[in-house]
Structure 1
Amino acid sequence: MSSDVMDWDNAYRGAGAFEGPPPWNIGEPQPELAALHRDGRFRSDVLDAGCGHAELSLALAADGYTVVGLDLSPTAIAAANRAAQQRSLATASFAQADITSFTGYDGRFNTVVDSTLFHSLPVEGREGYLRSIHRASAPGASLFILVFAKGAFPDGLETKPNEVDEDELRQAVSQFWEVDDIRPAYIHANPMPMGELPDGAQAPGFDVEFDDKGRLKMPAFLLSAHRAG
């Protein structure tokens, strides 16, 4: 699912194919990343790459972290800035940017977190993205990527995320970062329309788990890496 086929701003306006809030907008940080927060794995300053409505950034700022969120969608950025103002979170800031080529933050961030962005990029945009966040990170910085695993969506869908297998993810990230760990994980999502499925395909929701809030738990990977110091 690339920016060539998905109008991200339209999705955040609730006017896209999802006919309401996008499925990844669950109103709180993804649980896999919230667990990293509880475990003290993040260090300021934090870059929230492809922040969307930025629930992770807002949660981190509420605990005193300095966070910058970047996203392509002006609607998402406006919503994130409003939320930060309403919650009086002065250490969270948000800006519209192309995450595959942004500049202006060289060497700033000690943590980069990617909450379901990687699979939304065009495959050909991955190198520019990883180079850009590497440039923005400080020596020794940590990187966390939560991304859909291959098989999370049925084959044959006209539009779906660019899911990865473990080797593909490791190979892409290791061009710029030292990969420490890749483990199976879940992305939690609200029910979503799958559109017309190919014969024999099964939509997520029939063969995946649900969390205690009735949301889908879809197969994913959580990658941990660091920038060589």
Structure 2
Amino acid sequence: MASLATRAVVNLLYRSPFNPRSTGEPDDAVVELVEGPDALPPGRALDLGCGSGRHAVYLAKHGWDATGVDLVADAVAQARNRAVTEGVAPRLIQGDVAELGKLGVPGGNNLVVDAGCFHGLPSRMRDAYVPEVTRLAAPGALLLLLGLAKHPVLKGVQKDELTRRFTQWRLIRAESVAGAEMLRYGDGNPMLRRAFEKGWFDPWRYLLRRES
């Protein structure tokens, strides 16, 4: 599904100095779902665009049957090294999030985390991503999606697109994410840091529940 051009762009962006390097700290919202006062019971989780594995490894450490998928081979290699260091064994798969069925990703996922994957997909990959994710999600599953509304290269994502595409899901919450919080998850060059501090990328977090 991902064209050669898309794969090349993703790999270049991953290695770019403008791409935030993961600090390894899970998103506050993921921690809230896993450890908060209304914590979900451990189940099966899917981390899309898992990068260096900060969420897949975190979920595995907290008793979840976690699977991480990323298109970039170097990112998956880093995630596997992180998992070994942390003493856990999530499934970590190098592949296309628009072709999850071909990758052998298990279904029945109670939680799906997308911390910066969907917002970079071209339209035709989004067309495939939504039914694939829906098929692999258990009834009542939660989808936590973090994306930039603005970006000079990536397409970005906004609430109206999510509600239009995810017809079998209900949007529970949409909230703007402060640049200071974003900078805790990824460490980049000074120009990138200033951009997040000034809110140029307009990051948002969405929580959806599968209803059918």
The interval holding the TM-score normalised by the smaller chain is 0.7 to 0.9
Q: Work out the percentage of aligned pairs sharing the same amino acid.
A: 27
Within the candidate set 185, 188, 199, 1:191 is matched to 188
**Who wins on radius of gyration, i.e. which is larger?**
1
| Number of aligned residues | 199
Match of 2:100 in 1: 102
Deviation at 1:194, TM superposition (A): 6.5
- Structure 2: gaps (5+ residues): none
Pairwise mapping of residues 57-76 of structure 1 onto structure 2 (< 5 A)? 57-76=56-75
1:11-30 superposed matches below 5 A: 11-12=13-14, 16-18=15-17, 22-30=19-27
Deviation digits for residues 196-224 of structure 1, max 9, x if unmatched? xxxxxxx715624xxxxxxxx95322111
Counterpart residue number, 1:204:
195
Letter matched to residue 198 of structure 2: D
Runs (5+) with no aligned partner, structure 1 = 196-202, 209-216
2:209 counterpart residue number:
226
Match of 1:93 in 2: 91
Query: Aligned letter for 1:132?
Result: E
**Alpha-carbon deviations, 1:110-151, whole Å to 9, x = none?**
11111111111112211211111111111221111111124x
Instruction: Return the offset for 1:77.
Output: 1.1
The equivalent of 1:50 in structure 2 is 49
Which moves more between the two structures, 131-140 or 103-112?
103-112
Counterpart Cα distance in 2 of 1:23 and 1:218: 13
CA distance in structure 2 between the partners assigned to 1:43 and 1:163 by the alignment: 31
User: Which stretch of the first structure deviates more once superposed, 162-171 or 35-44?
Assistant: 35-44
**TM-score calculated relative to the size of structure 1:** 0.74
Cα pair distance change 1:206/1:25, threshold 3 Å: closer
Q: Report the alpha carbon displacement of residue 190 of structure 1 after superposing the two structures with TM.
A: 2.6
For residues 194 and 132 of structure 1, the distance between their equivalents in structure 2, rounded to whole angstroms, comes to: 36
- Which of the numbers 33, 36, 47 marks the counterpart of 1:36? 33
